[in-house]
């Protein structure tokens, strides 16, 4: 059995005109959201043993703010990757519980194609910043991962954890 935590980076800032997209940091809500998600992951015994993260500033900062143990693999290929590219990268993973932190629109597509299940959450289709889906797969190795084989365990966004816009 393999478990995937599929997370879109927390809310980022557009406060600095001229800053390129790749280098945008989190804003205050994003920092609070990532910290809340880290607590949720720990409280639910979902701490990953492998972390795959886009190398963009906002995904790296999301990882740091989660405050989870372990090393992270930064991967430029996850920056604005489509679902097929995310699948190819995940199929190379080696951990039993993998956290992947990436971007929309690819991550929303990826989440919806990994499982036939849909959470009864009104925000799943939009996959807002900080959205995190937990899926279980009946496989021994990630290389055997196929579309529509995941069993939905959880879906959460920072607002569900009390993180507000202010």
| 58-76 per-position pLDDT tens digit | 999 999 999 999 899 999 9
pLDDT at 20 (0 to 100): 82
Q: How many helices (H) and strands (E) does the chain have?
A: 4, 6
pLDDT bucket at 86, cuts 50 / 70 / 90: very high
Tell how far CA 72 is from the center of its chain: 13
Q: Is the pLDDT of residue 27 over 80?
A: yes
- Domain 2-161 CATH class label: alpha beta
pLDDT at 16 over 80: no
Q: How confident is the model at residue 15 (pLDDT cuts 50, 70, 90)?
A: confident
Statement: the pTM of the whole predicted model exceeds 0.85: yes
**HEC string for 80-141:** CCCHHHHHHHHCCCCCCEEEEEECCCHHHHHHHHHCCCCCCCCCCCCCCCCCEEEEEECCCC
Q: What is the pLDDT of residue 21?
A: 83
Task: Flag whether pLDDT at 18 surpasses 80.
Answer: no
Mean pLDDT of the chain: 95
Q: Mean pLDDT throughout 127-152? A: 98
């Amino acid at each position: 059995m393999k478990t995937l935590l599929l997370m879109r980076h927390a809310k980022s800032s557009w406060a600095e005109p001229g800053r390129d997209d790749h280098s945008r940091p989190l804003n205050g809500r994003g920092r609070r959201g990532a910290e809340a998600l880290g607590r949720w992951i720990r409280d639910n015994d979902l701490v990953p043993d492998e972390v795959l993260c886009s190398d963009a500033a906002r995904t790296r900062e999301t990882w740091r703010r989660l405050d989870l143990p372990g090393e992270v693999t930064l991967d430029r290929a996850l920056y604005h990757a489509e679902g097929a590219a995310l699948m190819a990268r995940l199929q190379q993973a080696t951990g039993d519980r993998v956290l992947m932190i990436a971007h929309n629109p690819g991550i929303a597509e990826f989440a919806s194609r990994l499982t036939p299940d849909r959470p009864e959450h009104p925000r799943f289709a939009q996959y807002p910043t900080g959205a995190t889906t937990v899926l279980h797969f009946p496989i021994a190795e990630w290389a055997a991962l196929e579309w529509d084989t995941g069993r939905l365990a959880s879906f959460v966004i920072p607002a569900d954890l009390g993180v507000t816009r202010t």
